[in-house]
Amino acid sequence: MADDLLAVYPLGSAFDERGRLLLGGCDAIELAREHGTPAYVVVEDDLRTQARAYRSAFERHAPGAHVSFASKACPCTAVLRTLEQEGLGCDVASGGELALALNAGFAPDRIHLHGNAKSEAELVAAVEHGIRHVVIDNGDDVERLARIAAERGRVQPVTIRVTPDVRGETHDGISTGQADSKFGLGIDETRTTIDRVRGLPALRLDGLHFHIGSQLLDLDVFRRAVAAIAPLADGLDEVNLGGGLGVAYTADQVAQLPSVEEYVQVKVAAVRALIGDRVRISDEPGRSLVGRAGVTLYEVQTVKRNVSTWVAVDGGMADNLRPMLYGARYEVQVADRFLAAGSAGTACRVVGKHCESSDVLVADARLDDPRPGDVLVTPVTGAYGYAMANTYNGVPRPPVVFVGDGRSRVVVRRERVEELWGRDVPAA
């Protein structure tokens, strides 16, 4: 029964003899008392286990593959350092993410810079740090990057992002492989860009890149994407297959979720069959590396009953924007009174404290007699919770707490109220 209830919780999650949730051996309610709520809790063992699963799977099927963390999923220094220690590279999509990756200890030759609107300053930083690849997204990237590299007497390695006109089954907001996309170059434009880049001495074309979207559970879409770009790969050394593997956010998604092993097998087999053995493979998992490792703890503030039962917590859209952005679904439970699937409980809406009717974290929750003071836990918030956190309504951003072996440590402290005006410029 416990396994069923904890199917989407971090590895090692369990219940103590009182029925309280344990995360990394730590009592969830005691974590809430010690660190306050809302709080992001990350189980370090889960992070390391996922990183090792990716590295070992690629080593079995494509020795020498380069696996990078898509840092947009959780650009937290402690998370980045953990994954760097596990031997991963880093995919960044801005100058800020580049600075975070370098500060976390990633060697420049393990970093890729993405982005559909790279600034001059970002391209300068990439060249001057000597990063592994700048991913060409458009024609403007080519001209500016070539000039910047030439002015500094550098040769900058690049890959070209291809939009393969392949769409996975995911929300429109996180689908990126269709022809009408703000990302990448179409097949025909990629052909001309390959020739153009090869003619520029300040750039070295290493390969192609694609990323067709996030939260993908059907692996066949990756085969189709490789098939689309295969005719462009002649004479190139590397194919970067992006990321995209989804996670199970709710128990009913667990059976649909491919394993890391299956994901790697499908991608590598497609490259070997359609492009050949000569190309090096790169991959950039994000959500599937960090999503399951994190949970968010809240405290119930009020319970209101009118047409619905509204369970209001002390967080919401400032710490988890995904349900409001594109209807993402989550589970939620009372940390010391889990309900088994099919139990009646109280049908309710778990909502946040922010001034929007859309501030609904879980619209169809069932909780065991929720009341003020209860600690609620939402699993699978390790990806894009911290990354998208904001200070709407002047609510300070939550801390990040690492747990393992029954101990907890704060790796990002809670934002202070006075920091809300810390960047103000005093009047003259």
Q: What does the pLDDT read at residue 425?
A: 95
Cross-strand partners of 158: 134, 205
Closest CA to 74 of 377, 248, 288: 288
Instruction: Give the helix, strand, coil percentages of the chain, each rounded to 5.
Output: 35, 25, 40
- CB neighbours of 30 closer than 8 A, spacing ≥ 6? none
- What are the pLDDT tens digits along the chain (428 aa)? 466 899 999 999 999 999 999 999 999 999 999 999 999 999 999 999 999 999 999 999 999 999 999 999 999 999 999 999 999 999 999 999 999 999 999 999 999 999 999 999 999 999 999 999 999 999 999 999 999 999 999 999 999 999 987 755 544 444 454 566 777 999 999 999 999 999 999 999 999 999 988 788 889 889 999 999 999 999 999 999 999 899 999 999 999 899 999 999 999 999 999 999 999 999 999 999 999 999 999 999 999 999 999 999 999 999 999 999 989 999 999 999 999 877 889 999 999 999 999 999 999 999 999 999 999 999 999 999 999 999 999 999 999 999 999 999 999 999 999 999 999 998 87
- Distance of alpha carbon 267 from alpha carbon 264, whole angstroms: 5
Domain 45-289 annotated CATH 3.20.20.10: yes
Q: What are phi and psi of 257, to 5 degrees?
A: -80, 120
Residue positions in the annotated binding site for pyridoxal 5'-phosphate?
Answer: 244, 284-287, 384
Q: CA triplet 339, 356, 28: central angle to 5 degrees?
A: 35
The reply to whether 355 belongs to the active site is yes
The domain limits of the chain are: 2-36+293-421, 45-289
Locate tokens 């393992």: which residue?
Answer: 404
Query: Thinking of the domain 2-36+293-421, which architecture would CATH place it in?
Result: Beta Barrel (2.40)
263/256 Cα distance (integer angstroms): 13
Let me know the angle formed at the C-alpha of 117 by 114 and 121, rounded to the nearest 5 degrees. 85
Assign 337 to helix, strand or coil. strand
Which pLDDT score is estimated for 174? Answer: 43
Which pLDDT value is given to residue 2? Answer: 66
Helices 120-129 and 95-103: crossing angle in degrees, nearest 10, is 30
pLDDT of amino acid 171: 44
Q: What is the pLDDT of residue 176?
A: 53
How many angstroms separate the CA atoms of 191 and 238, rounded? Answer: 16
- In sequence order, which ranges of 62-138 are alpha helices (DSSP H)? 77-85, 95-103, 120-129
Q: 26, 74, 90, 355: which one is catalytic? A: 355
Q: What is the dihedral of CA 365, 370, 371, 374, to 10 degrees?
A: -90
Q: List own/partner pairs for 25-29 with CB under 8 A and 24 or more apart.
A: 25/403, 25/404, 25/405, 25/406, 25/407, 26/403, 26/406, 26/407, 26/408, 28/295, 28/297, 28/335, 28/336, 28/375, 28/377, 29/335, 29/336, 29/375
| Cis ω before 38 (30° cut-off from 0) | yes
